[in-house]
Structure 1
Amino acid sequence: MTTPATGLETWSLWIGTIGMTLGTLYFIAQGWSVRDAEQQEYYIITIFIPAIAAASYFSMATGFGLIEVPVQGLGTLDIYWARYADWLFTTPLLLLDLALLAGADRNTIATLVGLDVFMIVTGLVGALAREGAAVRLAWWGISTGALIVLLYYLLGTLSEQASAMSGERAALFARLRNLVLVLWSLYPVVWILGTESGFEILPLGVETAAFAVLDLAAKVGFGIVLLRSRSVLSGSATRSAQTAD
């Protein structure tokens, strides 16, 4: 039987809840008067990202999104499964924002989303594994491998497609891509250092705070950078090659 988080965990989870909620309301307010169809698409996607995360953080703050997993040789670990439920929905939406900005084709979008879902699901399996530290670390390695391939794809194929867009749009894509590269690279580091790996170099409270900071930056921060460039998101931002014609 799990109980609501205490101490630093509580503060981190409630700050995450409030931060995601405020981010959602801010994006709604900013997009309320938008009439351009292409801009609306970005606002709709970006609003759902912190909205889903806010619900996830609320569930974790109230103890619903937490379970205890008995692990051989490690005792019982507290695992926030709601965090993975959040990532399973929000990270594909973040990638969809990037893909739309880059003018990506359907195959590229499908590849990115597929890699992302595989990464999150294998990470969840690792967090719930009961067979011992070695098995949990093996799943972490599989999930991290998928992340590396995904980030390589962002730097390669998606960046190549973005380079065909107008200068301002390509520059915005590059800023957001770099933000994702840096922040997403830190998630497996926190996981391996925290309680979920069993190493517990970072105690649960610190681990929870670190994930909250990363989530707020990767979701609300990402959205602020994206949506403040409203003119770049309009239907007039076409491929530079088409403009040249």
Structure 2
Amino acid sequence: MIPDQLTPGQYDTVYNLLSLVIAAQLFTALFLVAAQPRVLPRYRQALLVSAVVCGIAAYHYFRIFSSFKEAFVTDAVGGEGTYTQAVGASFNEGYRYVDWLLTVPLLLVELVVVLALARKLQASLLWRLVPASALMIVLGYPGEISDSDALRHVFGLLSTLPFLYILYVLFVELTRSLDRQPPAVRQTISRLRILLFASWGVYPIAYLLPLLGLDGSDAWVGKQAGYSIADILAKALYGLLIYRIARLKSFADDPAFEAAEEGTAHEWPAATRDRGASTTTVA
């Protein structure tokens, strides 16, 4: 439930976190687009999906940010007074769920695509993971907008079932295919799955804050903080790990590509030193 009032500290906390998420998602998306040539063509689709995920999140956080500023206003000079809900305006929590409905399935697509598995196995994983992730989000929304603790419990439990199924597929089914991956890639994928588990675990905690003894504005601000931090971890940081996997697999697949990339990485500093030395000599 949206609180009627926020203290200046609570308002600034939500304001700054929303701003942080926008920056993290937007510039991660730009980086992933710019980094396309740094991996082999077969892995660029995974980076593109990662960039799309972060771009979608950045767009929705712009909308969330605007909704927040319109919903809470103060007449105090310098913004030092209590912020109250503006007449005729309300914070739209639905933006988050629209965002998750689009991005959570794509997060799983990223992982499956970057592994470059056999087409049959890839299709099998996607047909199970994508519908389960969409169902998880759809079942969570009625509880999110409900004022009833009972309904919040019921829909929270229902949305947990597809979440547990996704974890089963990621940690049991997917593990069977990891033996074909390079050792460094296996380690990174293990970290990626742990990141998913840890960051997705923040969402139900934030979702249940009103049922854990917190109420009013404290619970609401805590929920917004939890969702925002989890979104940075589950999208921006996740996308950077997908990029790392794509780089490692590119190097393992094509030693010549690795040599060219490593040569490029060392060429620029050397050229800079040469130019610096020449400049010093002229001076």
Relative to the length of structure 2, the TM-score reads: 0.70
Match of 1:62 in 2: 66
Q: Does 1:19 align with 2:36?
A: no
Runs of 4+ off more than 6 Å: 64-67
Q: Which amino acid aligns with 2:105?
A: P
Residue 212 of structure 1 and its aligned partner are, at CA, apart by 0.9
CA distance in 1 between counterparts of 2:114 and 2:177 reads: 10
CA distance in 1 between counterparts of 2:239 and 2:130 reads: 19
Match of 2:34 in 1: 29
Q: Give identity over the alignment, percent.
A: 23
**1:185 equivalent among 196, 201, 215:** 201
**1:52 equivalent among 49, 56, 63:** 56
* Contact residue 65 and residue 80 of structure 1 kept, 8 A: no
CA deviation vs aligned residue, 1:46-83 (integer Å, no higher than 9, x gap): 1011100001111000008999xxxxxxxxx9651111
RMSD over aligned Cα, in angstroms?
Answer: 3.0
Q: Does 1:115 align with 2:114?
A: no
* Contact residue 68 and residue 91 of structure 2 kept, 8 A: no
Q: Which amino acid aligns with 1:30?
A: A
Which moves more between the two structures, 36-45 or 213-222? 36-45
Relative to the length of structure 1, the TM-score reads: 0.80
Residue 215 of structure 1 and its aligned partner are, at CA, apart by 0.6
* Contact residue 50 and residue 220 of structure 1 kept, 8 A: yes
Aligned in 2, Cα 1:205/1:157: closer, same or farther, shift over 3 Å? same
Aligned pairs (5 A) from 1:126-145: 126-129=143-146, 132-145=148-161
Q: Which amino acid aligns with 1:23?
A: T
Structure 2: gaps (5+ residues): 72-89, 255-283
Aligned residue for 1:63, secondary structure, equals helix
Tell which structure's C-alpha radius of gyration is larger.
2
**1:204 equivalent among 188, 207, 220:** 220
CA distance in 2 between counterparts of 1:159 and 1:93 reads: 20
Aligned pairs (5 A) from 1:71-86: 80-86=93-99
* Contact residue 25 and residue 58 of structure 2 kept, 8 A: yes
**1:10 equivalent among 2, 10, 15:** 15
Aligned residue for 2:35, secondary structure, equals helix
CA distance in 2 between counterparts of 1:144 and 1:237 reads: 38
* Contact residue 39 and residue 230 of structure 1 kept, 8 A: yes
